[in-house]
Amino acid sequence: MKALHFGAGNIGRGFIGKLLSDAGIHVTFADVNQQVVDAIATRHEYPVNVVGEYAVTETVKNVDAISSLSDDVFKQIAQVDLITTAVGPQILARIAGSVAQGLVQRCNDQNTSPLNIIACENMVRGTSQFKEYIFKALPENYHVWVNQHVGFVDSAVDRIVPPATSKTGDILEVTVETFSEWIVDKNQFNGPVPAIKGMEVVDNLMAFVERKLFTLNTGHAITAYLGFYFGVETIRDAILNDKIRAIVRQAMEESGAVLIKRYNFDAKKHAAYIDKILSRFENPYLHDDTARVGRQPIRKLSSGDRLIKPLLGTFEYHTANDNLLIGIAAALNYRNQEDEQAIELAEKITKSGVEAALCEVSGLEASVLGKSNPVVSRVAQIYHSMQNKQF
């Protein structure tokens, strides 16, 4: 079995690429970083440091690489059995044209063997969105053929892979945590579901997508924004701060109450899941910056993402949200001059005020029944207390 994986960054090499290679699948990485591409293409292997209670270095083998800007991408798409991505949600639209051209070549070559595409991104139904981008770039006369022969499989992915500098100077070395979770929708595959150890196949994907989004992503973001606000550099040091930890835990419990009501999760098991997430944040072997985790606050404050989506769930089920509101206010306070979205968000707040800016990026209503939205007003109140150093 052969796979083409877009994205040879830390997540691509340390998570999805590793799982595929471990399953005996030949993986070809496609990336714009020519230095990384050349190194993989020359060596056909790279080291992965898996760190936790027990640390081990494993060698990923049976890999190759090509430039994602080359015509080689089309040839690969015409031949492989699986396409995966780990490029970031904003990059999917950029690579969709290349995938569309590759699918055209696959059709013209009359390759009718099943092909499945899985976008392994931190987003809800990422592959479904990727499919929309691809079909916009795909000539209409190929739509029926692609729908018949290509599966677009949504997934939920979870593994902390922070930037890490190799002690040996190896450009391909990557460090990951022991925990990993890759869950896919079994109903969306074209042909037989491939047997890949570490890939869990389910028929209720959205429950797992939202469990991860509302717990890991929500908690990670709030830890980052509060840590950054208090001048704490790493996620580990932030979550070891009693004040931050209490807010993060309670925010995850608030989002968890939504999950329990929506998907009938077992309350004790979900509490244990929250404990597991907190322990992962504490991992002393992972050095992850609060500034990095907090980047792109506008995306993270959007209606379908990790802060606002669970908040909307609290409206639906009439449950508590005090600590989620603190997390949202902390995101609005994220002032990172190295992050374009943080700069843009600050400019929106300066120009229109924090309430209008929040409503613009999140889709929250500014008013309810002719009165100011109390939730928006409460976030603004917390925001100003943070600005005035009274939080």
Q: Which of 66-75, 111-120, 305-314, 364-373 has the lowest mean pLDDT?
A: 364-373
The pLDDT value recorded for residue 91 is: 96
For the chain, the average pLDDT equals 96
The pLDDT value recorded for residue 285 is: 86
The pLDDT value recorded for residue 74 is: 97
The pLDDT value recorded for residue 95 is: 97
Q: Confidence band (pLDDT; 50, 70, 90) for 60?
A: very high
pLDDT in tens, 2-34: 999 999 999 999 999 999 999 999 999 999 999
In the beta sheet, which residues pair with residue 83? 4, 117
The pLDDT value recorded for residue 110 is: 97
3-state DSSP helix/strand/coil % of the chain, to nearest 5: 55, 15, 30
pLDDT in tens, 367-382: 887 888 999 999 999 9
Which domains are present in the chain? 2-202 (3.40.50.720), 206-387 (1.10.1040.10)
Look-up of token digits 């083409």? 4
In the beta sheet, which residues pair with residue 85? 6, 119
Cα(391)–Cα(389) distance, rounded to whole angstroms?
A: 6
Binding residues: 3-14
pLDDT in tens, 342-363: 999 999 999 999 999 999 999 9
The pLDDT value recorded for residue 236 is: 97
Binding residues for NAD(+): 3-14
Cα(155)–Cα(123) distance, rounded to whole angstroms?
A: 9
Q: Region 258-284: what's the mean pLDDT?
A: 96
